[in-house]
Amino acid sequence: MSVVSDLTQLPLQEQIAQMIVVRAAGYLFDHQIRYPSWEPSNQQLRYWLETLNVGGVILLGGSAAEVAQRSKQLQDWAKIPLLIAADIEEGVGQRFAGATWFPPPMALGDIATRDLDLAKQYAQKVGEITAKEALTLGINWLLAPVVDVNNNPDNPVINVRAFGDDPSVVSELATSFIAGAHRQQVLTTAKHFPGHGDTATDSHFALPVLDVTDQRLAEIELPPFQSAIAAGVDSIMSGHLLVPAWDDAYPATLSSKILTQQLRLHFGFEGLVVTDALIMGALSKVTSSEELAILAIEAGADILLMPSNPDRAIAAIVNAVNNGRLSQERITASVTRIAAAKEKIITAQTGDFLPELAQSEGKQTTQGILNASLKTHGNFPLPLPKDNQPRHNLIIVDDLLNCAFLDRHTSAIALPQQLGYELQLLGQAQVIPPPTEHPPLTLVQLFTRGNPFRTEAGLSASTQAYLKALSQKGVVQAIIIYGSPYVLSWLQDNLDTEIPWIFTHAQMASAQTLALQHCFDPSQLSAFQEKYFV
């Protein structure tokens, strides 16, 4: 019997459970859980999968090897094969250590401004490698690519996650990513419909408003979604944002005018419509969690991502069907789409080839993107200060407690230390005091980019004041920016134009290595390079 007939013949409660995707830690043991309010214990998770028959899981955290074991464990608990998803917009290594971590999509958009064909080749290769490595870990649903057009420099949550600010470039690169991913048996996702790029509010905290005309939507936000649909994208994720031109009452996730009339009927999308996480702050003040689940289905969603309480959500939806508010046909339509998606991926080989992770193809692609998108200004390599001259390696990061890309051995820290620089590490989450009256010669390294749960897109006011003061004192030897190009623009507008700088969109160890190889004379690094530059 096929998965389709199995799902449509399940009891109503279990059909509805198939429409739920819950979050779980990629770690194997309960004591490793980092976010207990979002990630259930193994006992709770097993109950959801075995007894409720929940249809899918979204994973976060854990090493690649551990996640491969975890996904097998979850599939063993489930009565029906699971959708196992992850937000892997920058490769599997972005979330799960040990796999390939690619530069952010905006690096590809930057390459596209000079060589669109090369950027498309890289985007396709990124999609293919991401899909291949995801399957190796048992992940069969990529919550990627982001197809938002990031034309708002103050956007704190999309930023470098987008391919850029040009709808045509975003369309070309997104469809190339999808084509590459579809060389494997995985599902792809275009997000966040109808477009989260021109907002200055993080929907994890509050409800953004995309207050533009219908014509503007058609020109900027919508073309990448239309291209993704034409390319056969498997699912589209709704954005938690209010779009008054289409619906001035309900956010897109809860709007039938947007998800049904526009996405389904006008654009002809026949795949899965999945909500963004229902626990996010953009929706938390709209109504109760149970009502959110019902409204999302009424709007046209097939899959509810991360309802705050799956048990209560399922019970509320069952009651809505029983009292006639939701029809059985509406549930059947979603379950049928879910079944079709599961049939597409059910025969995919997963979890058996861990040695294939982070192989030469992924490393070469990463290095190619880094090289092609690196920007520099001024005279490099830097001359080393005299042996007795004090010098600081000032590293400023968004959050000192959440920067997995930095460690004692990573190039941004270890290499300047070997060259006599004293480490000074500051976090933008704290107020940065002004520099001392007579600061030493300083190499500045800035790690800042848009990310979920950041309230600002770039440099904090105290960071800006600190850098201006250093610049005025004439002690800045060079600046390396890892992340947001909008931060680079601020530096160019506000600091001494004679200060040399290096810019890369990426923050991982390989990006640090490349930047510092440009910063210093390779002959100065020879012994160190053999040990750390791999």
Evaluate the omega torsion of the peptide bond into residue 381 and state whether it is cis, within 30 degrees of 0: yes
Whether residue 416 is preceded by a cis peptide bond, meaning omega within 30 degrees of 0, is no
Supply φ then ψ for residue 393, to 5 degrees.
-105, 95
Q: Which of 268, 267, 269, 239 is nearest to 254 (CA)?
A: 239
How far, in Å, CA of 456 to CA of 159, rounded?
10
Q: Are 166 and 208 in contact (CB under 8 A)?
A: no
CA dist 58 and 85 (Å) reads 5
* pLDDT (tens place) for every residue of the chain, 534 residues total: 466 558 999 999 999 999 999 999 999 999 999 888 889 999 999 999 999 999 999 999 999 999 999 999 999 999 999 999 999 999 999 999 999 999 999 999 999 999 999 999 999 999 999 999 999 999 999 999 999 999 999 888 899 999 999 999 999 999 999 999 999 999 999 999 999 999 988 787 788 899 999 999 999 999 999 999 999 999 999 999 999 999 999 999 999 999 999 999 999 999 999 999 999 887 988 889 999 999 999 999 999 999 999 999 999 999 999 999 999 999 999 999 999 999 999 876 555 556 667 688 999 999 999 999 999 999 999 988 787 889 999 999 998 888 889 999 999 999 999 999 999 999 987 888 888 889 999 999 999 997 666 666 789 999 999 999 999 999 999 999 999 999 999 999 999 999 999 999 999 999 999 999 999 987 776 555 555 444
Domain with CATH 3.40.50.10870 in the chain: 374-532
CA 148 – CA 340 distance, rounded (Å): 27
| pLDDT score recorded for residue 388 | 83
DSSP 3-state of 397: strand
Residue 378 gets the label, from left (phi > 0), alpha (psi -120 to 50) or beta, of left
**Which residues are CB-contacts of 230 (< 8 A; sequence separation ≥ 6)?**
175
Q: How far apart are CA 265 and CA 353, in angstroms?
A: 42
Among residues 229, 38, 240, 259, which one has the least CA distance to residue 158? Answer: 240
pLDDT of residue 202: 77
Angstrom CA distances, 427 to 42, 153, 463, stand at 34, 21, 9
Would you state the structure tokens that stand for residue 461, as one six-digit string? 């006011």
Of 182, 192, 196, 204, the catalytic one is 204
Give the per-residue pLDDT at 356. Answer: 67
Strand order, beta sheet including 83-86: 141-142, 83-86, 56-60, 20-25, 304-305
Q: In the prediction, which pLDDT does 534 show?
A: 44
Catalytic (active site) residue 204: yes
Look at residue 1 in the predicted model and tell me its pLDDT: 44
Catalytic residue among 87, 110, 276, 398: 276
The per-residue pLDDT for 351 is 53
pLDDT at 201: 81
Nearest Cα to Cα of residue 448 among 372, 503, 374, 375: 503
Phi-psi region of 159 (alpha: psi -120 to 50; beta: other; left: phi over 0): left
Q: What is the pLDDT of residue 228?
A: 98
Distance CA 162, CA 67 (A): 26
302 is catalytic: no
Q: How far apart are CA 118 and CA 95, in angstroms?
A: 26
Name the nearest CA neighbour of 443 among 511, 399, 500. Answer: 500
Pairing of strands 391-397, 441-448: parallel
| Domain 374-532, CATH | 3.40.50.10870
CA gap 524, 517 in Å, rounded: 10
In angstroms, the CA 229 to CA 266 distance is 12
Q: What is the pLDDT of residue 529?
A: 55
